[in-house]
Chains A and B, each alone.
Chain A
Amino acid sequence: MAYFIVTSLLKIVGILFLVILPMVSYSVYAERRVSAFIQDRRGPNRVGPAGLFQPIADIFKLLLKEDFTPRTVNTFYYWLAPCLAMMPAIITIAVVPFGSTLFGVPMVIADINVGILYVFAIASLGVYGIVLAGWASNSKYPFLGGVRSSSQMISYELSLGLAVIPIFLLVGSLRLTSVVRYQIEHGWFIAPFIGDWMNPWKWLLAIPMLISFVVFAIAIFAETNRLPFDLPEAEQELAGGYNTEYSSMKFALFFLGEYAAMITGSAIIVTLFFGGWHLPLPSWHGGFHWVFVDGNAPGWRGVIGGLFNIATFFTKVAVLIFMFMWVRWTLPRFRYDQLMRLGWLFFFEIALVNIFIAAGILAFIRP
């Protein structure tokens, strides 16, 4: 029991302070660099080599700025909202397996048997931060942002939940480690036919999986309020939306919450569709074959394998974060009625039909 508590604490502290928070601040930096690259500008390149110390300078700037509270706000909720905005994104990461094992300890903070439902449940609490911020600010633009955000999140949660059902029909368990385990044995869900090219069943299965992936990824964009679905904060029409009245560190918390949500979203997409921490390595020892690496090997090989799995996972997450940014700086924003129509009239139905496609395939051809 004591051993379990100590390793859990180590994992929580390690993943939060050594991985997630640095990743959050550096994805802000990356976002600015990537957007500059896409728009043919330079971006922040003054602080340190290639501007790499910019996030640290930003932290001090945000901490030292004047924390201004407008007079008409509802103080308690005005303070509560930034905390609520930041928290869900971070505690969702608890069920995501970010590596195989290291020194025999499984690299997931809480391996609960309702993993994906936990993710959805906590993500659905994320709306409170934004709604409360909009309401407590007691002014028009933030309120509009809050109202928009809650209706958007409720609409897209449905497609989010329905989109992943085909995966769990296949896996037969809601546990995220089982999903990774299944993908190691049967191929990643984004392309189940890889390595088993002659199997027509795998090719047929790729159809509902691809639909799932597209719907899920787009719904994640909407859940995390990223462009092209960033209606709650649309700068040009709402002057920043729900965070208009916030300054200094409270504003930073919203900002960090948004990026943490993006990282969590990417981590979940990686776990569900891109094989989680799994990456087969090619080997030429005794003919070409694929080597499976994880932390179960004895001695230093196991440690290297475990570290390799963790590195693989976060590299995949980083690639997906880059995709989030790429989309943001490529597509224009949707209009609000278009966004709602897209959610209710297209994604919801597509996800629903997709479940029937997947169930039909599974009913007639068993793996």
Chain B
Amino acid sequence: MPAFLFWIFALLMLIFGAAVVVNRNPVASALSLVVSFLGLAALFMSLDAYFIGIIQVLVYAGAVMVLFLFIIMLLDLRAEERRQISWLTSAGAIAVALALLLQIFYVVGHFKSAQQPFPPLARSTTDDVRNIGLLLFGNYNLPFQIIGILVLVATIGVVLLSRREPR
């Protein structure tokens, strides 16, 4: 994957990530988040992680955000759009974000292995889907099953909570 594609998608992600926060219209924010997710998926794919990239689109852009949008549209948007931006809070938030960024740069910069260039990615001879499957169902079988049970419990909980009270 050529480097300029990385810059395009990284820039896309950052711009639309900022748009999520800056936009006053919740629908616009949600759609910006979708574009940001698409950029992230493209970055995953540029690392030959096609499966993760596609799942990113399928689950986050295709399912989760549709539900978000759905709920946002059913709400009244006027109140949110009229709300003023408080410059003092914004300045504080930007300052905190900048401080965090500087910290990350400082810590990562002093990291030994981060100072030399990364070795090139090893070419895998098998599908990444197959690799993920082998890992999940081989090495991490027990944690995987535990997560399965947890998700099942959560699903049952959701069904129970959303059920109407019997009269």
Partners in one complex: yes
A114, A128, A143, A151 — most chain B CB neighbours (10 Å): A114
Counting chain A CB atoms within 10 Å of each CB, the highest count among B31, B51, B70 belongs to B70
Q: Which residue of B lies closest to A117 (CB)?
A: B54
Which A residues are CB-close (under 8 A) to B74?
147
Interface size class of A (residues with CB under 8 A): 20 to 34
Q: Which of A121, A135, A173 contacts B54 (CB 8 A)?
A: A121
Q: Does A127 contact B (CB under 8 A)?
A: yes
Q: How far is the CB of B123 from chain A (nearest CB, A)?
A: 14
B73 within 8 A of A: yes
Q: Is the CB of A150 within 8 A of B70?
A: yes
Choose one: B55, B62, B73; the contact of A135 (CB below 8 Å): B73
Whether B69 lies near A113 (C-beta < 8 A) is: no
Which of A132, A135, A146, A173 touches B127 (beta carbons < 8 Å)? A173
Known contacts: A113-B127, A154-B66, A173-B127. The answer to whether A125 contacts B54 by CB under 8 A is no
Residue pair A121, B58 in contact (C-beta under 8 Å): yes
If over half of B's interface residues share one DSSP class (helix, strand or loop), that class is named, otherwise mixed; here it is helix
Shortest distance in angstroms between B71's beta carbon and chain A's nearest beta carbon?
A: 11
Assess the A127–B50 pair: CB atoms within 8 A: no
User: A201: CB under 8 A from chain B?
Assistant: no
A60 vs B134: C-alpha distance when bound (angstroms): 55
Tell me the minimal C-beta distance from A94 to chain B in angstroms: 13
On whether the beta carbons of A154 and B129 are closer than 8 Å, the reply is: no
Q: Are B66 and A113 in contact (CB under 8 A)?
A: no
Q: Does B43 touch A at the CB level, under 8 Å?
A: no
Q: Within 8 Å of chain A (Cβ to Cβ): is B57?
A: yes
Interface residues of B in 35-53 (CB under 8 A from A): 50-51
Instruction: Verify A128–B55 contact, CB threshold 8 A.
Output: no
Min CB distance A102 to B, Å, is 26
For window 55-91 of B, CB contacts with A under 8 Å fall at: 55, 57-58, 61-63, 66-67, 69-70, 73-74
Q: How far is the CA of A153 from the CA of B62 in the complex (A)?
A: 10
Contact B66 A131 (CB under 8 A): yes
A154 to B69, CA, bound (A): 13
B116 to chain A minimum Cβ distance, whole angstroms, is 29
Q: Cβ of B63 and Cβ of A157 under 8 Å apart? A: yes
Whether a CB of chain A sits under 8 angstroms from the CB of B33 is no
Are B73 and A117 closer than 8 Å at their CB atoms? no
Bound-state CA distance A225–B74 (Å) is: 22
Determine whether the beta carbon of B73 is less than 8 Å from that of A131: yes
**Bound-state Cα–Cα, A117 to B52, Å:** 11
Report chain B residues within 8 Å CB of A150.
66, 69-70
Name the B residues within 8 Å of A118 (CB-CB): 54
- Check B63–A135 contact: CB distance below 8 A: no
**Cα(A195)–Cα(B38), bound, Å:** 45
Q: Which of A114, A132, A147, A154 is within 8 Å of B50, CB to CB? A: A114
- A128-B66, A131-B73 known; 17 new pairs, CB 8 Å cut-off, are A113-B128, A117-B55, A120-B62, A124-B58, A124-B61, A124-B63, A125-B62, A128-B31, A131-B66, A131-B69, A131-B70, A135-B73, A143-B73, A154-B63, A157-B62, A173-B127, A175-B127
Q: What are 27 A-B contacts defined by CB distance under 8 Å?
A: A77-B27, A112-B50, A113-B128, A114-B51, A114-B129, A120-B58, A121-B55, A121-B57, A121-B61, A122-B57, A124-B63, A125-B61, A125-B62, A127-B66, A128-B31, A128-B34, A128-B66, A131-B73, A132-B31, A143-B73, A147-B74, A150-B66, A154-B67, A173-B127, A173-B130, A174-B129, A175-B127
